[in-house]
Amino acid sequence: MTSQMLNLATWIHCTTAEGPGKRFALWVQGCAIRCPGCCNPEMFSNAPKHLKPIDEVLNMILTAKDERDIEGVTILGGEPFSQARPLVALTTQLKQHDLSVMVFTGFQREELEMRTDGEPELIEQCDILVDGPYIQEQHTQSRRWIGSENQRVHFLTSRYQDTEDWEKPNTVEITFDGKELEISGFPMWQKQIEAWKRVLQKREESQKKS
């Protein structure tokens, strides 16, 4: 086990809208790329949002595996490769529990492979890596899980090479389990998503007060 910390923006315990099958989705906080039109601008800042030890994040994910039968974890953001070292520690343990790993990055794979701060090691942990920045002018809704035409999908293991999910259009998923409202997937209607985010924010504020 390790005491490394992750700066997280938010997470969802189980979704089918952020990769193949049922998955835990983890949004990291902080992205220096700042693509115009990014749907998560609140995740640009590197300021601590939810600072969590790797062990605690791993426990949340393993609980989701037991209770919700997730098959993997999707890491997005924010920019996951800006926190490559702690994510290597996390994903190494996920693999030991037979959980698949899918990571979205705004950088190009070739650029990350040249870096020396854990980036090549994180690529090695990925079953699927989606790379490249979001380019507003190349926006698409027809590539599942992907925002713009330039972004590439690298199947780095054989685990999902035959998935047909890839061919389906993008989706958005909203779940409410009586306690938590969770939104995931691709924001087809930006205004509605923003309204849902405000609802979540108000719920968070009222929970803090109570």
Q: Choose among 71, 151, 84: nearest CA to 115.
A: 84
**Rounded Cα distance, 175 and 83, in Å:** 28
Cβ 185 to ligand SF4 shortest distance, Å: 15
Is residue 78 near ligand SF4 by the rule CB under 6 A?
yes
Q: Which is nearer to ligand SF4, 37 or 69 (CB)?
A: 37
**Rounded Cα distance, 11 and 68, in Å:** 15
Q: Which of 6, 9, 17, 79 binds ligand SF4 (CB under 6 A)?
A: 79
- The DSSP code sequence of 98-133 is T-EEEEE-SS-HHHHHT--SSHHHHHHH-SEEEES-
Is residue 38 near ligand SF4 by the rule CB under 6 A?
yes
Touching ligand SF4, residues 8-37 (CB under 6 A)? 31, 33-35
Q: Which of 20, 77, 80, 86 binds ligand SF4 (CB under 6 A)?
A: 77
- CA of residue 65 relative to chain centroid, distance: 17
Is residue 40 near ligand SF4 by the rule CB under 6 A?
yes
Is residue 133 near ligand SF4 by the rule CB under 6 A?
yes
Q: Choose among 34, 116, 108: nearest CA to 77.
A: 34
Q: Which residues bind ligand SF4 (CB under 6 A)?
A: 31, 33-35, 38, 40, 43, 77-79, 106, 133-134
